[in-house]
Chain A
């Protein structure tokens, strides 16, 4: 973006072999994602008769929202036939508390680790670092036992709990590294002025955290919304997230496969994170670019 004015006086360059190769490669990469997406979108607007003809790249003969509304209101997932609605609201109900809990906890821990004198802070950080690399599958069974003994297994609470617990190591490291870059004198001044852990956090540190918050928000929203494994493992009847509903709908339905409904359902599930990207995307780039805080 910034070198646009520099580009202007330059002569257009002749395309060389190497750049052709790059362009070809990038186009193929783009197609790799775009073709399935295209098929997904057009199929979701078609009627089943046209789909049965088998021309998957053709445009819909008649554009219709029927598959979308069916996927949302009526499609069957397992035994219930209430569409994806329920899953959507479950996902929202999981997302909210998981986001708040994981971000709030890791933020405060990161703040304490970075800016306050703590015993064993180094060891703690090292352990966090290790935890961040433990694959979920390895601790899945212990986590199931844990949630069972807490009496929350199969509930929304269990899903929220697991999402929060799994996100904490990485998020804490991210926040801690961000706060480490705050000039030491600012925190020293705040300690002399107020000395209160929470007051400094809320009045000084939180307002300086905008950039990193956006980054973490997007990361978390995407990963929580797109999660399937935690939802299917820890959720019970009626508490499963949208992804699980989608999977059930696509795999379990008997008889003819309603491709248009499946495609619409898949798109419905994918839309919320996309909306977040478009809304917060600009800040996301800024947040990643902003390394240190200049004051």
Chain B
């Protein structure tokens, strides 16, 4: 299965620049999820790989081939569209077969593949129906089947699950993941659903304004966001970001928050050399807080803060603390949360090693 790479891709519509010198490589067998807010250029990127739109400049490689100028049908990939794009006048079987019409395959081979896809996606009972007579989830499976019969080595998905209800989405997520594990194609998958991204991807590329903000494994992107955009975009509930001033006192870095409290950053994970006297953002994930910690523990920052409100979010509860006039969200067990009322003071600890520190000016991770 080939590797897909973009080299210095520029895409303009008239004088609107959507992608400006984008570089990205997907290794073979990778499941790459493109994640980003609406309008950031994800679909554009997929269309460029597929050849459905032309690049303004730059090069697209699939394996060893330069496909930049190639016709869509010659690129050896298949795509599942957000709208499914099934052929309305063809039956399910007709839809699957048409996917193979560009390849001059012997009839037996076509039959074999159609049967294989139908079995895999449990489409057998639906083969004679037209798309209009299918449910959303069934249409989705047909769309995936149509992409799979081609045995393409690269599969493109454009928000394929966005029209489905939560339950079906969970099921389909698992199905697609299973498909990837068994067939091992290279997949590029567009979504703006973070859960999809975190659960399915082997690599995530976070995009904003046509630029790749961060490229890495889901864990990496989640635990070590490269900049403020990624930090605030990834995670639900979002990461707490508290403004502070960074100083160095006797060789020890120290963050001073707006309310005057200070936090020693001696054990903090700095990627670069510490430069004193800057405005920084201290990022803390709600789920890394330790509730009901008393006194002080090594490697932890201690907070004693008043509660603003308590929210129950299904399996979790979220406690909002008042920290220098801002919300500080802390994840808690629901059992524990019911005992907390707004106005109470609670003490929490945060492991210094799990801090995320950003330069306010550049937005980059420190």
Contacts and interface: CB of A to CB of B under 8 A. Distances in A.
Of B71, B78, B98, most buried by chain A (CB within 10 Å of CB) is: B98
Interface string B228-239: 000000000000
Contacts of A295: 86-88, 131-132
Nearest to A195: B73
Contacts of B299: none
Interface in B224-255: none
Contacts of A7: none
A189 B79 contact: yes
A191 interface: yes
Contacts of B83: 183, 185
Interface string B91-108: 000000011111000000
Nearest to B47: A188
Nearest to A193: B99
Interface string A184-216: 011011111111100100011001100000000
A194 B101 contact: yes
Given A183-B85, A208-B89, A190 B102 contact: no
Contact of B87 (A191, A199, A204): A204
Given A185-B81, A196-B102, A295-B131, A191 B86 contact: no
Nearest to A204: B87
B221 interface: no
Nearest to A192: B72
Contacts of B146: 189, 193
22 contacts: A183-B83, A185-B81, A185-B85, A186-B85, A189-B79, A189-B86, A189-B146, A190-B87, A191-B72, A192-B51, A193-B98, A193-B99, A193-B100, A193-B102, A193-B150, A195-B72, A195-B102, A203-B90, A203-B98, A208-B88, A294-B132, A295-B86
A193 to B, nearest CB: 5
A28 to B, nearest CB: 46
B82 A185 contact: yes
B138 to A, nearest CB: 14
Contact of B85 (A189, A199, A208, A294): A189
A293 interface: yes
B89 A207 contact: yes
A199 B99 CA distance: 12
Nearest to B87: A204
B88 A293 contact: yes
Given A185-B83, A189-B81, A195 B89 contact: no
Interface range for B: 20 to 34
Interface string B57-77: 000000000000001111001
B280 to A, nearest CB: 45
A194 B81 contact: no
A293 B84 CA distance: 15
Contacts of A189: 79, 81, 85-87, 146
A137 B325 CA distance: 82
Nearest to B139: A295
A133 to B, nearest CB: 30
B306 to A, nearest CB: 52
B52 interface: yes
Given A185-B82, A185-B83, A199-B101, A191 B89 contact: no
A195 B47 CA distance: 15
B161 to A, nearest CB: 16
Given A194-B101, A194-B102, A195-B73, A204 B82 contact: no
Given A189-B79, A295-B131, A195 B85 contact: no
Contacts of A196: 101-102
B94 to A, nearest CB: 8
A293 B83 CA distance: 14
Contacts of A208: 88-89
B136 to A, nearest CB: 13
B148 interface: no
Contacts of A188: 47, 50, 52, 79, 81, 85
Contacts of B101: 193-194, 196, 199, 203
Nearest to A186: B85
B147 to A, nearest CB: 9
A208 B51 CA distance: 25
A157 to B, nearest CB: 35
A210 to B, nearest CB: 9
Nearest to A295: B88
B71 A195 contact: yes
A208 B83 CA distance: 18
B89 A204 contact: yes
Of B47, B78, B89, most buried by chain A (CB within 10 Å of CB) is: B89
A270 B50 CA distance: 55
B81 A193 contact: no
Contacts of A293: 88
Contacts of A192: 50-52, 72-73, 77-79
Interface string A165-185: 000000000000000000101
Contact of B98 (A183, A190, A294): A190
Interface string B170-199: 000000000000000000000000000000
Nearest to B75: A192
Contacts of B89: 204, 207-208
Nearest to A191: B72
Contacts of A193: 73, 78, 98-102, 146, 150
A204 to B, nearest CB: 5
Contacts of B81: 185, 188-189
A190 B101 CA distance: 10
